[in-house]
Amino acid sequence: MLVSALLTSLAINSGLCILFFVLYSILRKQPSNYAVYVPRLLAEGKSKRRSHFNLERLIPSPTWLKNAWKLSEEELLSSSGLDAVVFMRLITFSLKVFSFAGIIGIFVLLPVNCTGELHIVDFTNLPNNSLDVFTISNIGNGSKRLWIHFSAVYVVTIFICYLLYYEYRYISSKRMAYFYSSKPQPHHFTILVHSIPVSVESSVSESVDRFFSEYHPSTYLSHIVIHRTNRLRSLINDAKQLYGRLTHLKSDDTQQKYHRSCCFGLCGRKVDLTDEYEKQLVDIEKNLRLEQSEVSSSGHKEARAAFVSFKSRLGAAIAFHLPQSSNPIEWVTEEAPEPDDVYWPFFSSSFMHRWISKLTVVVACITLTILFLVPVLIVQGLTNLSQLKTWFPFLESILTIKIVSQVITGYLPSLILQLFLKAVPPIMKFLSSIQGYISHSNIEKSACNKVLWFTIWNVFFATVFSGTAIYVVDIFLEPKQIPGKLAVAVPAQASFFIAYVVTTGWTSVCSELFRIIPFSFSLIKRPFTRSTDHELEVPSLPYHKDIPRILFFALLGITYFFLAPLILPFLLLYLCLGYIIYSNQFINVYAPRYESAGKFWPIVHDSIIFSLVLMHAIAVGIFTLKKLSLASSLICPLPIFTLLFNDYCRKRFL
């Protein structure tokens, strides 16, 4: 890749970013977009829909930038919870790491690379230089200059480990403070017990009561057996919907209050809608009562799980920590999730059911991760120009225009890949949801992990080895040769990943700011619906999508900082954008629905440790390749100490 190509891409993407910022600054002030850009403020009543027009609405203003910049951690903690703090600290952590690495990279490594033995930078015609002159590839075999890179690897590793330790300690203390400061709440006093063994003559409720009265006599308070109430819940939902329509109908005089009773409202006698709805409501109420009495009376709707409450937090903690039964797969206890965090489908399932679900999901997930690129490549292969012409003959005249065909052949494959990639976080979340978790926060945490490894495999390794899935798997089945193969393949993709940060990275944060998909939806829906404030649902940040993305860029930064330090300025800019934009979104858009209390940090920690070890493996390979075997041997203790450090942190912090 030439410098000029990078500059072009840089110009286009900077332009796009500025355009997004300006558009956002204007659009966010239009009352019709409030539901998209400030749903949180709207829901909290801090922002009112004003319909009067003024000129100020059309002039982009940077006040939101100032507000986002000024957001302090205390404000964030009180408004969006500990998870948001952890998320923002991930960004500031990366900023610190890459500022430090950036100083070393730009002021030390870059000059060393540029003055390397293999190519000489042509300063008179900078844009026509290859990007390779800025990378480690420019340094000849056995050169003493490589010791500078060697020292950089050591210094940066030590710096990152030092930061990781302090960050983990900080998050850990925040977690502690969160638990100390939170008021007593019902779920602190409660545990969930599942896989309750039942005998023929007694019900689940009686078993639970007998068991806990016997073994926890002084602390046991009460219990609620969980019932299978799918029908009941659907009835309640129906009733709510009908009630909403009815009140709307009664309050609003402009609506049509009659319809005809058959043939899709076209013929038959006229019916008063209000009466109709009221009659339906009465029916539903009767069904509800029936169902309720059935649920409470009959035992066959009882799930073999119960919420058990204790008189003190200590009592609940004791019951949770002590093994309850001599058979470890009966009377299994879990901490009760927050009420908003409960995920019901797995309450009734037994230990075996959960175990099998988990195994199935693990297999599905590994298969998906490894074989994901196979269907993508097939689809990309199918959607070539001539194929499109046969499928959509009416487009033929357009497709023959040169520029259209160029755009299609150029962008279609990458568009298809992006579409497939977009589908991954929801798929992973779905897989996690059938894995046996009983809380949304655990599902999200598990999905976060899955998406992270998926991204590392399918974007990093698949690009680096640019081969088929089987080939990449093959490489990992011969662990001895990994460093060598990485050393050949990774530097070759340096310019691709620099461009990747500029294009995908910058675009992704800007589209996060602009909220393209909700915005398009609202544009499409607007003519058909009359949205009211109380129907507005405030979204929560999809951590399982955004944390892996930032972690992946951190991985790129860590692995490439000594190979191609040119990646660092772009990465820093990405992180700065991220900092401002996510701060803004936390203020305006996202509200937390539940709190995992900082449980995402261990994922961040592990991922950074993995990036470090990967970087060391590449360094070992590179130094061997460059015939500096002493350096490659001296790198070897580094991954060992990094892994030991990780082990220590896991033991040291809860």
Where along the sequence are the contacts to a copy of itself (CB under 8 A)?
Answer: 176, 317-318, 321-323, 326-329, 351, 355, 359, 474, 477-480, 644, 648, 651-654
Shortest distance, CB of residue 354 to a copy of itself, whole angstroms? 11
Which residue, among 277, 268, 211, 276, has the nearest Cα to 243 in the 3D structure? 277
Whichever of 288 and 482 has its CB closer to a copy of itself, that residue is: 482
Distance separating alpha carbons of residues 237 and 462, to the nearest angstrom: 46
Residue 491 amino acid letter: P
Shortest distance, CB of residue 538 to a copy of itself, whole angstroms? 33
Q: What are phi and psi of 306, to 5 degrees?
A: -150, 150
Shortest distance, CB of residue 181 to a copy of itself, whole angstroms? 14
Number of neighbours of residue 326 by Cβ within 10 angstroms: 7
Whichever of 45 and 479 has its CB closer to a copy of itself, that residue is: 479
Distance set, CA 292 to CA 235, 302, 306, 498 (Å): 11, 13, 18, 61
Helix (H, G, I), strand (E, B) or coil at 531: coil
Whichever of 191 and 494 has its CB closer to a copy of itself, that residue is: 191
Shortest distance, CB of residue 329 to a copy of itself, whole angstroms? 6
Distance separating alpha carbons of residues 631 and 635, to the nearest angstrom: 6
Shortest distance, CB of residue 435 to a copy of itself, whole angstroms? 15
Residue 650 amino acid letter: R
Shortest distance, CB of residue 238 to a copy of itself, whole angstroms? 41
* Cβ atoms 193, 332 nearer than 8 A: yes
Number of neighbours of residue 530 by Cβ within 10 angstroms: 9
Shortest distance, CB of residue 645 to a copy of itself, whole angstroms? 12
Whichever of 14 and 360 has its CB closer to a copy of itself, that residue is: 360
Shortest distance, CB of residue 315 to a copy of itself, whole angstroms? 10
Number of neighbours of residue 237 by Cβ within 10 angstroms: 10
Whichever of 175 and 223 has its CB closer to a copy of itself, that residue is: 175
Residue 50 amino acid letter: R
Beta strands 190-194; 302-310: pairing state? antiparallel
Shortest distance, CB of residue 649 to a copy of itself, whole angstroms? 11
Shortest distance, CB of residue 480 to a copy of itself, whole angstroms? 4
Whichever of 327 and 384 has its CB closer to a copy of itself, that residue is: 327
Residue 455 amino acid letter: T
Whichever of 329 and 516 has its CB closer to a copy of itself, that residue is: 329
Shortest distance, CB of residue 325 to a copy of itself, whole angstroms? 10
Whichever of 162 and 641 has its CB closer to a copy of itself, that residue is: 641
Number of neighbours of residue 318 by Cβ within 10 angstroms: 14
Q: What are phi and psi of 220, to 5 degrees?
A: -70, 135
Q: What are phi and psi of 271, to 5 degrees?
A: -125, 140
Whichever of 51 and 326 has its CB closer to a copy of itself, that residue is: 326
Please give the torsion angle defined by the CA atoms of residues 493, 494, 499 and 504, in that order, rounded to the nearest 10 degrees: 70
* Cβ atoms 604, 90 nearer than 8 A: yes
Shortest distance, CB of residue 640 to a copy of itself, whole angstroms? 10
What proportions of the chain, in percent to the nearest 5, are helix, strand and coil?
70, 5, 20
Beta strands 267-272; 258-262: pairing state? antiparallel
Helix (H, G, I), strand (E, B) or coil at 523: helix
Shortest distance, CB of residue 638 to a copy of itself, whole angstroms? 16
Whichever of 320 and 372 has its CB closer to a copy of itself, that residue is: 320
For the purposes of burial, counting CB atoms within 10 Å of the CB of 407, is it exposed (0-12), middle (13-18) or buried (19 or more)?
Answer: exposed
Please give the torsion angle defined by the CA atoms of residues 592, 594, 595 and 596, in that order, rounded to the nearest 10 degrees: -120
Whichever of 138 and 195 has its CB closer to a copy of itself, that residue is: 195
Whichever of 100 and 215 has its CB closer to a copy of itself, that residue is: 215
Distance of CA 353 to the CA centre of its chain: 27
Distance separating alpha carbons of residues 310 and 317, to the nearest angstrom: 9
Whichever of 403 and 654 has its CB closer to a copy of itself, that residue is: 654
**Which of 373-402 are b and which e, b meaning 16 or more Cβ less than 10 Å from the residue's Cβ?**
beebeeebeebeeeebeeeeeeeeeeeeee
